Amino acid sequence: MISLGIFGIDAVVFAIVALLTGAGLVWLAMWLAGLISPRSFNPQKGEAYECGIPTRGESMARFHVGYYLFAILFLMFDVETVFLFPWAVKMRALGGEGVLCVAVFFAILVLGLVYAWRKGALEWK
């Protein structure tokens, strides 16, 4: 009997089927669209859209580091939110112990946020 810790075989099978269906539907939609869609080509279609005017200069330009900081911070807190969802679903079953674990997890990340805030990473300079 395959089992994964506290999860039984049902849960594993469900998880695998859900994953495959999700990926499969996406692939199916894209394949069908590619099969039946009308398509044409002209030189302007492949170019970058800049409100109707051709672009100027190289695309490989230096970008401001502020974009990177915002992106990283967003990514981290987004992942944190993803981790919070499974706990929220099973909140009652996990009880007080669960709340404590999550609170510690949350506090560590809030410390990170406060650090970023104080260092001025949230301002644009």
Chain residues binding other proteins by CB under 8 A are 36-47, 49-57, 61, 63-64, 66-67, 124
Nearer to other proteins, 7 or 67 (CB): 67
Nearer to other proteins, 47 or 101 (CB): 47
Task: Evaluate whether 67 touches 121 at the Cβ level (below 8 Å).
Answer: no
Nearer to other proteins, 52 or 96 (CB): 52
Residue matched to tokens 């609170």: 103
HSE-CB for 124 with a 13 A CA cutoff:
5
- Listed residue (66, 63, 75) closest to 119, CA to CA: 66
Closest separation in Å from C-beta 41 to other proteins: 4
Q: What phi-psi label fits residue 95: left (phi over 0), alpha (psi between -120 and 50 degrees) or beta?
A: left
Closest separation in Å from C-beta 123 to other proteins: 11
Closest separation in Å from C-beta 124 to other proteins: 6
Closest separation in Å from C-beta 62 to other proteins: 8
What single letter denotes the amino acid at residue 73? L
Nearer to other proteins, 70 or 83 (CB): 70
Dmax (CA) of the chain: 64
